[in-house]
């Protein structure tokens, strides 16, 4: 139950991209040195984000990466999902155990005639866990790269600014 280091790198890379001037590509070289991580590895991470439309890449000399959209439109959730994938936190692993038969059955009785859409026979345990995931996602959706940048700037508020 932990986020991978790749997610860590991804977030940091995005922050660095965000506080750079727009339309100025930043190479993996520069990113890797400032993050203390190898270029090769970081490439794979950036590739994932590119496929999910978070960053844009241009090859060739003077090429590099830039944000594919404004920083306030990049949520923590989509970054995490781009890196970690989109599988659910809780996957039922004993769908054919006696336990599941019982729990799923009595959950099906009440809505037997009403909802027949996507009735996969899930029990209350899964409901709770899925709820947890939804809450987490909601929180992560509300926080963007820009939001941490704002708070950082507000905190220092006077110097140490690039542009």
Question: 58 has which bridge partners?
Answer: 64
Tell me which residue of 30, 48, 50, 32 sits closest to 40, measured CA to CA.
32
Contacted entry of ligand SF4, DNA, a second copy, none for residue 98, CB cut-off 5 to 8 Å set by kind: a second copy
Contact indicator for 92, 100 with CB cutoff of 8 Å: yes
Write the binding mask 117 to 136 for ligand SF4: x where contact by CB under 6 A, - elsewhere.
-----xx-xx----------
Q: Confirm or reject binding of residue 83 to ligand SF4 (CB under 6 A).
A: no
Q: Which residues contact 130 (CB under 8 A, 6 or more apart)?
A: 88, 90
Tell me which residue of 104, 19, 25, 35 sits closest to 70, measured CA to CA.
19
Contacted entry of a second copy, DNA, ligand SF4, none for residue 122, CB cut-off 5 to 8 Å set by kind: ligand SF4
What residues make contact with DNA under the rule CB under 7 A?
Answer: 4-6, 25-29, 37-38, 40-41, 43-44, 46-47, 50, 57-65, 84-85
The binding site for ligand SF4 (CB under 6 A) comprises 12, 92, 94-95, 99-100, 103-104, 122-123, 125-126
């Amino acid at each position: 139950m932990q986020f991978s280091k790749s997610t860590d790198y991804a977030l940091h890379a995005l922050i660095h991209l965000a506080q750079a001037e727009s339309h100025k590509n930043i190479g993996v070289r520069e990113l890797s040195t400032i993050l203390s991580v190898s270029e090769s590895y970081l490439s794979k991470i950036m590739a994932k984000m590119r496929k999910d439309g978070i960053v844009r890449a241009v090859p060739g000399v003077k090429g590099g990466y830039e944000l594919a959209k404004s920083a306030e439109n990049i949520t923590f959730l989509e970054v995490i999902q781009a890196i970690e994938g989109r599988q659910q936190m809780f996957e039922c692993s004993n769908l054919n155990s006696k336990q599941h038969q019982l729990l799923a059955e009595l959950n099906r009785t009440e809505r037997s005639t009403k909802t027949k859409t996507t009735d996969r026979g899930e029990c209350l345990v899964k409901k709770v866990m899925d709820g947890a995931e939804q809450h987490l996602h909601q929180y992560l959706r509300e926080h963007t790269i820009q939001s941490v940048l704002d708070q950082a700037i507000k905190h220092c508020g006077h110097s140490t600014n690039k542009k």
